[in-house]
Homo-oligomer: A and B are copies of this chain.
Amino acid sequence: MLNTRLSGIIPPIVTPLLTHDELDREGLERLLTRVIDAGCSGVFILGSTGEAPALSSRLRLEMIQATAEIVRGKVTLLVGITDSSVEEAIQLGSAAIDAKADALVTSSPFYFRLSQSDLLRHAEMLTRELSIPLFLYNMPGLTKLVYEPDTVAKASEIAGIAGFKDSSGDLIYLQRVLRLVRGKPNFSVFIGPEELLAHAVLMGADGGVNGGANLFPELYVALFRAAKERRIDDLQDLERQVLELSEAIYRVGDPSTSYLRGLKAALSLQNICSDLPAAPMVPLSVEERAGIERWLTRQSA
């Protein structure tokens, strides 16, 4: 169980699939090993990048157990329990605790248009039932709901709430949140979109949960450190690389799901795992994949 303040790069691990309900365990091992070796401070499974809401409960449990066995305490293990049902989230959280996860992560339930007091009550229900630290995860683009800064501040007072991850892409929002929770020694704040990692750290965030760290974990670790150590030339150079990757891999084909499908295509081209996304999505087309291949080849040249 987590008992220090988290910081650094914690990749939101993709869920490697053999078929739509079958885990690619070998791919997962290659992926986790690389990420851990690169200096990431933790791994976060079953988030949006992990496609968790599209997976069966059974597969999510398998993913928790497989990851726990591979990670074995080498780094912090965070497990996403986001679900449209509170009860299902509690069951998933219990399984994660049994598997020795260090902390849990939840976004808001994502079907109904809940109020801010519903969101707070949701966090309280989960912390009451689940005995390890819980992070809240702001992902309005997919959940339709935003944790207002005041709600984050109130949540940070709940025993058991250990931090916050923001994937809104809105740095004014993140500043407003940081202003309210700054100074709480046991509450850490992470940023999702990797293009904003360095600036969030300069604003006082503790680190990043960045999808690209599945692919090039060293790059994100280096960018985090450059920001932390205020090496601005390095920061600008590394940030440019992050943006290049983002343009080359996350914006290929249908824009609605190109981030996920591009990331898995690139991992497959690196021989890490299959490019199969969760159903009903399909891999990038041959042409789209070839474009990513050319870009990756140029990078390693």
Partner of A254, one of B115, B235, B246: B115
Q: Which of B111, B142, B199 contacts A54 (CB 8 A)?
A: B111
- Is there an interface contact between A280 and B125, defined as CB atoms closer than 8 Å? yes
- Given A86-B280, A112-B54, A172 and B195 contact (CB-CB distance below 8 Å): yes
The interface residues of chain B lying within 8 Å CB-to-CB of A144 are: 144
From A85, A87, A232, A243, name the one whose CB has the most chain B CB atoms within 10 angstroms. A85
Contacts A175-B243, A195-B171, A232-B230; A87 near B114 (Cβ below 8 A):
no
- For A51, the chain B residues whose CB sits under 8 A away are 112
Chain A 54-87 near chain B by CB (<8 Å), digits 1 or 0: 1111110000000000000000000000001111
Instruction: From the candidates B84, B202, B243, B279, name the one contacting A125 in the complex (CB within 8 A).
Output: B279
Residues of B within 8 A of A113 (CB): 141-142, 256-257
- For the complex, give the distance between the alpha carbons of A142 and B26 in Å: 37
Binding site for B on A (CB under 8 A): 20-21, 48, 51, 53-59, 84-88, 91, 109-115, 118-119, 121-122, 125, 141-144, 169-172, 175-176, 179, 193, 195-196, 199, 202-204, 230, 232, 235-236, 239-240, 243, 246-247, 254, 256-257, 260, 278-282
A109: contacting residue among B85, B236, B280, CB under 8 A: B280
